Structure 1
Amino acid sequence: MKDKRHRSCMENRELSWLKFNERVLEEANCQETPLMERLKFLSIFTSNLDEFYMVRVGTLTDLALVEPDDRDSKTGMTAQEQLAAIYRETAPLYAQRDRAFAELTTLMAQAGISQLHYGELKPSEQKLVEKEFYRTVLPVLSPQIIDTRHPFPHIDNKQLNVAVSLRHKDHTMFGIIPLPGSVPRMLFVDREQLRYILMEEVLLQFAPKVFDMYKVGEKAIICITRNADIDADAGMYDEDLDYRQHMKKVLKKRMRLAPVRLEVQGDISEGFIKYLRGKLGITREQVFLCAAPLDLSFCFALTGQLPAPLVSQLTDAPFTPQQPALVKQGEPVLRQVLKRDILLSYPYESMNPFLRLIKEASEDKNVLSIKITLYRIARQAKLAEYLIAAAENGKEVFVLMELRARFDEQNNIEWAQRLEEAGCRVIYGMDHYKVHSKICLITRREHGRLQTITQVGTGNYNEKTAKLYTDLALITANPQIGADATAFFKNMSIGNLHGSYGQLWVAPCCFKQNVLRCIDEQIALAGSGQPAGVMMKFNSLTDIDVMEKLIEASCAGVPCQLIVRGICCLVPGVEGLTENITIISIVGRYLEHSRVYCFGVGQQMKMYISSGDMMSRNTMHRVEVSCPVYDPALRQRILHMMQVMLGDNVKARQLGADGHYRIRHPDGQIPVDSQQCFMDQAILDAQKQPVAGQSSASRGLWQKLRGLFGR
C-alpha cells in the first residue's frame, strides 16, 4: 500500500463478501417481496455461504498453514485473523437466517403450505410416512456404527447425514446415516393440502429403527463443508493426461478435501460436538448450530408443487425476456448487424437474436469461420447445437473452452467432448490463467471482401442464466474491433497472453492498465478545472491499484460513482480521502452482473463493456475482454441505464463511511426500482416498431425517467 492512510478507507475482502450475503438475506425479510421469492432468497443466501466456505475459507485455511505470516494488503490481517473474523461474523447470520425461516414457515402455513415436523403429523400421516420409510427409504440406506472395528467414515461434501449416539450393553458408540441422493427431499403427506415433511426429518425420526439393536441417545442432522479450492493446474505436468481427464481427477479429489465447517440441526451436547470435531479436525468456532434446514435447495422445487392460483399469489409476476425493438424479426440478424450495431440487455431482452445470428452463420455459405470463448453454458444449449451444425456444414468452428469454471467443470468437460466429436476445434484455457472473456467472432467473405461480426458480452453464453442475470451484449461489424478479435483468437491459439490490440482491452496485458490511464486522464482534467467523472459498474472491487487510483481521483475532486453488487474493499465518504466517491449495491429480482466502465462526461466520455471485474484475479490472472461502445444511440442507452440504477431508491443500498450498507428509501420521491423500470420499458419497446431516425431508448418510459434524473 502506497499510503498507510488509505487503510482507513479499505475493508477486508472476506468480511465485505459476508456483508453482500447479508444484503441477500435482507431480501428474504422484505415484506414487499412475494413469499416464495423470499424463501428463494433464503436458499440463495445459504448456497452462497456454502460456496464461500468451500472456496474462500478453504483458501485461507491453506494459507494459514503454509504462509502464517502473510498479511492482507488492504487491512494487514493474517489468514488466521481473517478466519477468526469470518467465524465471528458468520454466527449472527445463522441466527438471522433461523429467524427468517421461522417467519416464512409461519406465513407459508397461513397461505396453505405446511412444512411439518414428525410430531405435528396426523396419526394417518405418520402411518403414511412410516410405510414410505420402510418401502423406499430403508432399502437404500447405508448406515454405519463407529467403533474400533468401524472407523469414522468419509462424509461427502455437503451431504446431509443423521448422527446419533448409541448404547449397547455397557458400550457407547456413535452412528452415521447418510441421506441418499436418490431419495426425494420432500415427502408430501397431503398434496391437496400441501402438507409435507423433509426426508432428513424422517430419517431422524426412524434412526432407532435403523439401529434397532442399539439404544439411541442423542441425534441430530449434520452437514460437513469441505475445502473445494483446488489448484486445477497442479500436477498437470506430472502425468501424460489430456486436460479433460486431468479435470475429471480434480473433481474427484475435491470431494475428499479437508473439512472447513460443520453445521448441526438439532439439540446435541457439547460432548457430542467435541467428538465430531475431533474426528473432523476442526475448532469449535467452525461449528454452527441451526434451527432451519441445512440445505434449502428444495425451496425452488417447492414452487413447482403449488397450484396455479397459489403460484400467481406467492411468486413474482412472470416476465418473459422481450424481443429487442431494434432487431427486426423478419430480417436476418446477420444482415441487420452489418448495417448497425446491436445491443442486447439481458434478461429484459431475449438472447434469441444472438442465437439466431449463430444459426444464420452456421447456414450462410459466405461464412468461413465462427470462433468463440465458452466459460459457462447451459446443459441444454441451442448455442452448442448451432456450433455443431456449423462444423457439420463445413465451417471452421474454433472453441476456447474453459474447463476450470468452478462447479461447472463437469458440464464443460461433456460439452467439450461433444463439440470435438462433431468436428469443432476445441482448445482449453491458459496455464494459470482462466479464460473468462465473452467474445465471439464470425468471419465471412462476400464479393471477394472479408467481413467480421464481433459479439462481446459481460455475461456467459448461457441460455438459462440469460433469463436470471443482468448483462449486456454488443454485436458489431466494426472492422477495427473485428481485427482485434481476430488477433485475440490467434493469440489464444498460440498461448500469447501479451498481444497488442487497438480497440479491445484484454487482460492480463492491458485491461487494468487502461482503466488506470483513463482515471489519470480524469484527474488531469479536474486539475485543469475541466469537467471530469468516473462511473463504473461491476460485481466486485478488490484490486488495490485501482482503489488507490480512485482515492487519488477523489482527492483531485473527480466525482466517482460506482455500482458494486458484491465485494467492495473501498469505503467511500472518508474525509480527506474518498468523500467524492459514491458506492451503491443493487440486490433485487435479478442478479446484477453487467460490467460497464465510463470515463469523462458528455461527448468525450469513453465507454466500455467488459467481462472483467476490478479484482486482482480478473485484472492480473484471467483473460478478460473489454469492448468500446461507439454507436451514439447505444451509448446513450447504456448511460441512461447507469443513471437509472444510480437513482434506484427501492433495491439499492448505499455504502457509508462507517462501512455499513443502508437501504435507500424514496422519502417522498418517486420510487425507482431500476430492474422493474427496465422490465417495463422492454415490454413497451417490444410492442412498437422503431421509428426512422429515433431509437427506442429515446421514447416512452425512458423520457419520463430522464425527467427524474434531470436530463
Structure 2
Amino acid sequence: MVRCGSLYDLSLVDPENHDKRSGMTPAEQLNAIFKQVDKLCPVKDDVLKNINETLVSLHMARIENKQLTKKQQKFVRHYFDTQIYSMLSPQVIDNRHPFPHLMNKAQYIIVRLKEGKNDMQFGIIPVPDFLDRIIYLPEAQGDYVLLEHVIYHQVERIFSEDNIVSKSIIRVTRNADINLNEKEIDEDEDYREYMKKILKKRDRLAPIRLEYYRTMDDETTAFLCEKLNLKPNQVFCSKSPMEMDYFFDLIDQAPNVLTKPLLYKPFEPQKKCSLDLDRPLIPQLLQHDELLFYPYQSIDIFLDLLMEAAHDKNVLSIKITIYRLAKNSRIVNALVEAAENGKEVIVLMELRARFDEKHNIQEAQILEEAGCKILYGFEDLKVHSKVMQFTVKTRKQIRTITQIGTGNYNEKTSKQYTDISYITGREDIGADGTAFFRNLLMSNLEGQYDHLLVSPFQLKEAVMKMMDEQIEKASSGQQAKIYLKMNSITDVDLINKIQEASSAGVEIRMVVRGICCILPGVPGYAENLHIISIVGRYLEHSRIYAFGNDDDMKVYISSADFMTRNTEKRVEVACPIYDEKLKKRVLEYFKLQLRDNIKARQMQSDGTYKAIETMDAPLDSQNECMRLAEEMHPKKSKEHHVFRAIASHFRRN
C-alpha cells in the first residue's frame, strides 16, 4: 500500500525517473516487486499450512469444508441461514448495476454466471466486516471455519447453482500513499480539517494488487483486471486466508491450556532503574541521567515521570513531539492534566503518521480542548523525532529535564519493540532541546545545535564527518571502529561513505534488521564490513551510532534510520550519550547483539543471509536481555505496592 503505492504515483508523473540504487524506472521496480511477490505467496501458504497442521492436535485448527462431519455441515448450513444470509448484499453486475467500488483490503465473493443475452454476467457479494469472522464448530472444541469460506461454499443458495460457472474470494489492495498539497487548503480551513478531507480519499485510490482464493477462471480475471485497471502480473493466488488479523482473536479467545505451548513465556517489562521509584523522580533526574531499554524495562517509569510533572507545582511547561500513540494513551491523559493544572503544554502532533492519521487528529482535538497548544509540523517534512522536555523552577534557577528516544510514545509498542529512552537534566542537552522546540515553533529547520544532531540539515553531515575521522585514523595506522544499529539503510551518500571507511581499514559492525542496500565483504569495497539482522520475539527498532575505540567512543541514540527519507525529508534527532556508565550500557547492549547466534543472520556478499556458525555457547540476545532485566528486578513487599498505589492515586487526584 505504501512502497508500491508511491512507485505507482511516480510511474504516472515521472515514468522515466531512475532510482539511484537500482537504476530502474518506477514501472521496472514495480514489475520486479510483483515477480518476487509471486514467489513469496506459495511460501506464505506453506507456512500457514504447517501452522494449521500443528493446531489440529490442539483443536484450534481451521477446518476445510470437505473435512466437516455431517453434523458440522448441518450446523454450518443452519448458521448461514440464521446468522449470515440476511446480512448479505449480493449484486448482479450489468448495465443497470455497474461494477461497485471495492474497498481496500475488504473481501468479496465473485461469481461468473452463465452468459446473458448479450454478454457474460457476474455477481458479487461483500463479506460483512461487522460479523464474527471465526465460526467455531460443534464436536471440535476450538476448531473453526471462517466467515468468507462459509459464504463461498453456500453461494449456490444465493445465485442458482445451475447458473454459476465459477466462483472465488477476492481482495483488492489500494494505494495508500496520499499526497498533500497545502495550496488546496481554504483560507478559513485549518490543517486538521484539511487532513480529514484527504483521509476520505484514501479508500478511493488506485488498486495496485488483486488477490484471489485458490482458483479463478481466466474470464473472471480478465473482467476484474479491466474494471480495476490492473495488469495480469498484479494478480496473485492465495491458497490460505488472505486476511490474517483474525489470528489475534483466535489466540485471545482460546483457553490458556491450549495456547501455552504456542506462545512465548510471559514477560513483564521490569520497573527497575537507577532511580528510587519510591521518591519523586524529578529531583533525582536533576542530579543524574537515566537510560531505559524497552521492552526489558517498563515505560511506566517514563509515564510516572510525566504524570509527576503534570502535578508538580514547580514544573512550568511541557513540550513534546508526537508521531504515534497508543489507543487510550496515558501520555495524552498526563498532558491533559498538565494543561488543566495551568502548565504550558506545547504538542507538535504529526498528522501524517501513516495509518495513524485519524487517531492523531482525534487526540490533537482532545489536547487542544484541554488547553494545550498544538502544532502540526511542516508542509514538506514529517516530524519523526521523539523529544520531550519540561522546565522546572528550582530555588536557584530554571532547569530542564529532556527525554530523547528511538521509539514512539506508545505504551503498546513499548512492549513489542526494542527502543532506548534517554532522560537527562544536563544543561547542555537541555539548551539544545529548548532551541529545538523554539525552532519548531518558529518553523526554523536550519537552527544550529551544539550537541544534538537534527535532520534534515545537520544529522547526515555530522555522521559523515565522524566517519571521516575514523577513516583518517585508519589511514594513519590507528585502530578505528564504527558501530551502527538501525532498521534500514538506503541513503546512497552514507552507503558510499561506509564503503570508503571499510576500504580505508575501519572495522565496521552493523545490525540492520530490514532493508539493507549495502553488501558486506565485497572485495575492494567492503572487506571490513560485517552486517547481521536480528528477527526475534521483539521488533528490533532502536537506532545506535557509535564511532571510535571503546575507550573514547562517541555514542548516539537516534530516531533516524540511514534512509534518504529520514536524513533529508524528516525532522529527526540523534542525541549523544556523555555519561560514561550509560555509554557503557549502550555499547554492552550493542555487543550483546553482535554475539547473538540464535536469532541473528549474517548477511553475505551476495545479499543472502545465513545462520551464524560458531563453537560459542548458544545466545539469543533478546532472551539474555530479559534475563538480565529480571535479575535486576528486586522483590517488592506488599507495603511497597500499597505505597505506590497510594502515591499514584494522589498524583491523579
Give the TM interval when normalised to the shorter protein: over 0.9
Q: After superposition, where does 1:319-468 map in structure 2 within 5 Å?
A: 319-468=267-416
Query: What is the aligned-residue identity percentage?
Result: 46
Aligned to 1:63: 10
- Does residue 586 of the first structure (1) align with residue 534 of the second (2)? yes
Mapped to 1, the partners of 2:210 and 2:186 lie a distance apart of 34
Aligned to 2:109: 162
Letter in 1 for 2:51: L
Q: After superposition, where does 1:168-183 map in structure 2 within 5 Å?
A: 172-183=120-131
Aligned to 2:25: 78
CA contact (8 A) 1:649 1:671 kept: yes
Mapped to 1, the partners of 2:296 and 2:564 lie a distance apart of 30
Letter in 2 for 1:231: N
Aligned to 1:138: 85
Query: Secondary structure of the equivalent of 1:360?
Result: helix
- Does residue 546 of the first structure (1) align with residue 490 of the second (2)? no
Deviations 1:404-432 (A, max 9, x none): 00000111010000000011111111111
Aligned residue pairs total 635
Letter in 1 for 2:73: Q
Query: Secondary structure of the equivalent of 1:339?
Result: coil
CA contact (8 A) 2:185 2:194 kept: no
- Does residue 106 of the first structure (1) align with residue 53 of the second (2)? yes
Mapped to 2, the partners of 1:450 and 1:239 lie a distance apart of 40
Aligned to 1:247: 195
Aligned to 1:88: 35
Letter in 1 for 2:471: I
Bigger relative CO (Cα 8 Å, ≥ 6 apart): 1
TM-superposed CA distance for 1:238, in Å, is 5.2
TM-superposed CA distance for 1:69, in Å, is 1.5
Mapped to 1, the partners of 2:9 and 2:256 lie a distance apart of 49
Letter in 2 for 1:225: T
Letter in 2 for 1:262: L
Deviates more, 1:438-447 or 1:159-168: 159-168
Mapped to 2, the partners of 1:631 and 1:616 lie a distance apart of 30
CA contact (8 A) 2:349 2:364 kept: yes
CA contact (8 A) 1:325 1:688 kept: no
CA contact (8 A) 1:333 1:353 kept: no
TM-superposed CA distance for 1:200, in Å, is 0.4
Query: Secondary structure of the equivalent of 1:115?
Result: coil
CA contact (8 A) 2:381 2:571 kept: yes
Deviates more, 1:125-134 or 1:408-417: 125-134
Aligned to 1:45: none
Mapped to 1, the partners of 2:422 and 2:634 lie a distance apart of 22
Deviations 1:414-452 (A, max 9, x none): 000000001111111111100000000010111141010
TM-superposed CA distance for 1:331, in Å, is 1.4
Mapped to 1, the partners of 2:147 and 2:68 lie a distance apart of 14
Mapped to 2, the partners of 1:551 and 1:685 lie a distance apart of 40
For 2:421, which of 473, 495, 503 is the aligned residue? 473
Aligned to 1:575: 523
Letter in 2 for 1:458: T
- Does residue 683 of the first structure (1) align with residue 592 of the second (2)? no
Mapped to 2, the partners of 1:646 and 1:120 lie a distance apart of 48
Deviates more, 1:255-264 or 1:298-307: 298-307
TM-superposed CA distance for 1:239, in Å, is 6.0
TM-score, with structure 1 as normaliser: 0.87
Deviates more, 1:80-89 or 1:284-293: 80-89
Q: Cα 1:208–1:503, aligned 2, differ >3 Å: closer, same or farther?
A: same
Aligned to 2:71: 124
Mapped to 2, the partners of 1:367 and 1:192 lie a distance apart of 59
Letter in 1 for 2:175: N
Query: Secondary structure of the equivalent of 1:503?
Result: coil
Letter in 2 for 1:314: L
Mapped to 2, the partners of 1:416 and 1:169 lie a distance apart of 54
Mapped to 2, the partners of 1:589 and 1:213 lie a distance apart of 48
Aligned to 2:468: 520
CA contact (8 A) 1:324 1:344 kept: no
CA contact (8 A) 1:599 1:607 kept: yes
For 1:631, which of 579, 592, 604 is the aligned residue? 579
For 2:600, which of 649, 652, 662 is the aligned residue? 652
Mapped to 1, the partners of 2:534 and 2:187 lie a distance apart of 46
CA contact (8 A) 2:59 2:140 kept: no
Mapped to 1, the partners of 2:168 and 2:475 lie a distance apart of 65
CA contact (8 A) 1:403 1:413 kept: yes
- Does residue 153 of the first structure (1) align with residue 100 of the second (2)? yes
Mapped to 2, the partners of 1:688 and 1:655 lie a distance apart of 42
CA contact (8 A) 1:372 1:441 kept: yes
TM-superposed CA distance for 1:169, in Å, is 6.4
CA contact (8 A) 1:400 1:428 kept: yes
For 2:616, which of 669, 682, 691 is the aligned residue? 669
Deviates more, 1:518-527 or 1:453-462: 518-527
Deviations 1:632-664 (A, max 9, x none): 111111101100101111111111111111122
Letter in 1 for 2:401: I
Mapped to 2, the partners of 1:397 and 1:406 lie a distance apart of 25
Letter in 2 for 1:343: L
TM-superposed CA distance for 1:677, in Å, is 0.5
TM-superposed CA distance for 1:139, in Å, is 2.1
Aligned to 1:16: none
Query: Secondary structure of the equivalent of 2:132?
Result: coil
TM-superposed CA distance for 1:235, in Å, is 4.8
Q: What RMSD over aligned residues (CA atoms) do the two structures have, in Å? A: 1.5
TM-superposed CA distance for 1:206, in Å, is 1.7
TM-superposed CA distance for 1:336, in Å, is 1.9
Gaps of 5+ in 1: 1-53, 690-711
CA contact (8 A) 1:484 1:503 kept: yes
For 1:97, which of 41, 44, 48 is the aligned residue? 44
- Does residue 563 of the first structure (1) align with residue 511 of the second (2)? yes
Mapped to 1, the partners of 2:444 and 2:171 lie a distance apart of 44
- Does residue 193 of the first structure (1) align with residue 141 of the second (2)? yes
Mapped to 1, the partners of 2:480 and 2:215 lie a distance apart of 60
Aligned to 1:530: 478
Q: Cα 1:331–1:455, aligned 2, differ >3 Å: closer, same or farther?
A: same
Letter in 1 for 2:60: I
